[in-house]
Amino acid sequence: MARPRRDSGIVPAKQRLENAFWAMLAEREFAGITIEAICQRAAVNHNTFYYYFDNLDQMAAVLVDANLVPELPRMVLAGLTRDQPRVELLLGDPDLRRRFERVQLLLGPHADQRIHDQLKASVTQLWLDSLDAKADDQHLRAFVTFVIGGMLSILGTDDLGDRTQLMAWMADDFGPIIQTVLNSRA
């Protein structure tokens, strides 16, 4: 069967596969998700899955990177505070809100340690790139890795209340902390 036209109103197969992955990760542990189950939920055959992804781990890796918000570090460093309610504006954007919710799924109890580690590495690298960190600046790398690990741990905890408030709190404190470390090294 031919691929549906973009304007046909039919959700493309790759998007259906991704939606199936997210829905299943919300319901069960990553270890309990199979390619067969994703394909069944997405109403595609397994060849379609393998057209887009090599395996389930590679699919998860692609989706981790696709749901990062690359502009967030620069916004935080530029003064993302409650006085400038960009956190609420960011989370008010449906696409960014969906990406943030998906990152929370990746941090939640259904994801496995490999996904947590990949997310931590990707977010840490995103911040290091935003800070123009040099490869040999081990102090800054260790500091950013430590802080990102803590932030992701907090975001992955279910019992800490409203995530928008957590984001606002982290934005209030994280940018100035990083700036203090950068200024102390100058």
Specify whether 47 is located in the same domain as 88.
no
Task: Examine the pLDDT at 144 and tell me if it is beyond 50.
Answer: yes
Alpha-carbon distance 78 to 88, whole Å?
16
DSSP class of residue 105? H
What is the domain range of residue 58?
A: 9-63
Specify whether 99 is located in the same domain as 159.
yes
Task: Classify residue 14 as exposed, middle or buried by CB count within 10 Å of its CB (0-12, 13-18, 19+).
Answer: middle
| Per-residue pLDDT reduced to its tens digit, 55-78 | 999 999 999 999 988 877 776 666
Task: Examine the pLDDT at 2 and tell me if it is beyond 60.
Answer: no
Specify whether 50 is located in the same domain as 82.
no
Kindly list the distances between the CA atom of residue 59 and the CA atoms of 17, 22, 38, 96, 110, in Å, as whole numbers in the listed order: 9, 11, 11, 20, 16
| Per-residue pLDDT reduced to its tens digit, 10-36 | 899 999 999 999 999 999 999 999 999
CA 8 to chain centre: 30
Residue 1 included in any domain:
no
Specify whether 25 is located in the same domain as 46.
yes
- Say whether pTM exceeds 0.85: no
Single out the residue of 58, 44, 33, 54 nearest to residue 4, CA to CA.
44
Positive or negative: CA dihedral 5, 6, 10, 11? positive
| Per-residue pLDDT reduced to its tens digit, 86-142 | 556 666 778 877 888 888 888 888 889 999 999 999 999 998 998 888 888 898 889
Specify whether 92 is located in the same domain as 172.
yes
Exposure pattern of 145-167 as b/e (b: 16+ CB <10 Å)?
A: bebbeebbeebbeeeeeeeeebb
Structure-token pair, residue 76: 């935080």
Please report the pLDDT score of residue 168 as a whole number.
Answer: 65
Residue 4 included in any domain:
no
Residue 154 included in any domain:
yes
Residue 150 included in any domain:
yes
Residue 15 included in any domain:
yes
